[in-house]
Amino acid sequence: MNELRKYTWIAWTSARSSWAYFGDAIGRVIFFSIILYIFLRLWTTTFTQTGATHLGGLSITQMLWYLTITEAIMLSGPKVSTLIDEDVRTGTIAVQLLRPMSYAYYRLAMTLGERTIRFLVNLVTGCAIAFLLVGQLPMVGFGMLTLCATLPLAFILDFLGLFLVGLSAFWLEDTSGLLLLYSRGVLIAGGTLIPLDLYPSAVRPILSWLPFANITAGPAHVFVSPLPQDLAMILCRQITGTLVLGAIAFVIYKQALRRVFVNGG
Amino acid sequence: MKKLINWLQLAAAYVKLNFRSHLEYRGAFISQVVAMAVNDSCWIVFWTLFFTRFPVLHGWTQKDVLTMWAISASGFGLAVTVAGNTFQLARVVGRGELDSWLLYPRAVLPHLALGRMVPSGLGDAIFGYVLFFAFVRPDWQHMLLFLVFSLSSALLFIGFFAIAGSLSFFIGNAEVLAEQWIFSLITFSTYPSPLFDGVVKILLFTIIPAGFVSYLPIDALQGLSLKYASLSVLGSAAFLAIGVSVFYLGLRRYESGNLIGMRG
């Protein structure tokens, strides 16, 4: 119980710290708004041009709210892998390991705290833009509940992916390339820009079980179409993904710690 | 003419120096170049998926979007590979790190701009050229125009980075604002122009000049129009001139950070 309180406090401190840098938040909101505006234009044009009422099972209103949520999640991610990379390269990780807490859980708590604030800022901005452009989403109350149910595991899954990227600093000269590839994985394979239902049917089942899709597309899907069976399926995939990725992260973390050498003096 | 050759020689010397410096960390350099090219390819995957479902977007086909990406990526890549310091000018000015550049015998801006290479930019540039020549498969006229546009876009990016970075001279630390402004230009440069109209279209030829980077060049390439080609090149030259003027105007307000540092 004490352990949980400790990490909750770290997350809370991280959230407060994130809130303090309001200028940074505004800067990110500008970029988020631009990206959202462009995608809203792209899909509005596509719906108008094709004359379709539904694309990939989503109406234009659902599609635009779907993109709002995927982009809000995608652009709320803190630079945790860069911080881990720095800790490894500067040797700070050796000092962190001396603290009476797990380094991995410490980073997780910090990430969740910061990300919650960033996501809320994005969500409020995104909702305002989507509401102005396409109006309210039907069953938005249920949608919010299902979104809240899937977000914690989505954030944890993303953290695990970024944690692995950061840990690769133990073996690689530079991790920025790997980070770029990971983020593009979330963008393309995660259904952030195009709902997975619009992908070729051959790749859809594979993509839906990958962690990427359960970080952005899964929560966004149950937000715009809050059906109990879909929620259960997304949660099932998220739990499976967390267990698998968590096990991989555990093994890699143990291997990485063997490469930490501390020379006293 | 002799002066121009002189400046080009200086630029070539800097590029060579920066390149060799990055090759000291060969693994990191290559991984950044490859990762950026793969990153750009992901966007091509997105557009391929999109155009597979919806073949035409307001008159634009997949080929037009590939050309737009090729011009933007090659222009941006060339700009940050050759003049990488302009990309982070706001930080350099905001932190008062300009002092060492003020000691050079020639004009400040060229030395400062050429003094750093962004390695991932090389990935963008290579990606842009490969994309155009391998996938668009142009005839010699389109090829020539494309080369002109990739160079003019690079000049526009350098000018725009100078404007955005110079904000720090006027409002203090403008790092976040300059970054967002620059990302706005990059973002708008990679989406088809027919998506935007009204006020946004005006903005795309003024505050966020993506229109000169990729929209006018696409119009010029579609109809082999010299009028649009000239407008695009003139627009880029104008933004470069504005960038240089704003930088020197701001330089008068520069306050040293009194930092002690070493540059190899």
Share of chain A above pLDDT 90, in %: 44
Mutate to test the interface with B, among A22, A31, A40, A196 (most CBs of B within 10 A): A31
Record the tokens describing residue B250, joined without a space. Answer: 């701001």
Whether the predicted pLDDT of B139 surpasses 70: yes
Record the tokens describing residue A150, joined without a space. Answer: 């899937």
Q: What is the pLDDT of residues B34-69, one digit of tens each?
A: 989 988 998 999 999 899 888 888 888 999 999 999
- The answer to whether the beta carbons of residues B33 and A176 sit under 8 Å apart is no
Q: What is the pLDDT of residues A125-158, one digit of tens each?
A: 999 988 988 888 877 788 899 999 999 999 999 9
Using DSSP's 3-state secondary structure scheme, residue B72 falls into helix
**Which pLDDT value is given to residue B260?**
66
Tell me, yes or no, if B171 comes closer than 8 A to chain A by beta carbon. Answer: no
Tell me, yes or no, if A31 comes closer than 8 A to chain B by beta carbon. Answer: yes
Return the beta strands (E) in B112-215 as ranges. none
Q: What is the pLDDT of residues A190-218, one digit of tens each?
A: 999 889 988 888 888 899 889 999 999 99
Tell me, yes or no, if B199 comes closer than 8 A to chain A by beta carbon. Answer: no
Whether the predicted pLDDT of A245 surpasses 80: yes
CB B27 to CB A188 under 8 A? no
Highest mean pLDDT among A45-59, A100-114, B144-158, B198-212 belongs to B144-158
The ipTM of this complex is 0.82
How many beta-carbon pairs under 8 angstroms link A with B?
84
- Residue among A42, A174, A199 whose CB faces B32 most closely: A174
- The answer to whether the beta carbons of residues A177 and A93 sit under 8 Å apart is no
- In whole angstroms, what is the distance from residue A239 CA to residue A219 CA? 13
- In whole angstroms, what is the distance from residue A79 CA to residue A156 CA? 14
- In whole angstroms, what is the distance from residue B134 CA to residue A183 CA? 26
Nearest chain A alpha carbon to B190: A38
The pTM assigned to this predicted structure is 0.85
* Residues of chain A with C-beta less than 8 angstroms from the C-beta of B183: 31, 34
- Rounded to the nearest 10 degrees, how much is the dihedral formed by the CA atoms of A99, A102, A107, A112? -120
What's the mean pLDDT when you consider all of chain B? Answer: 90
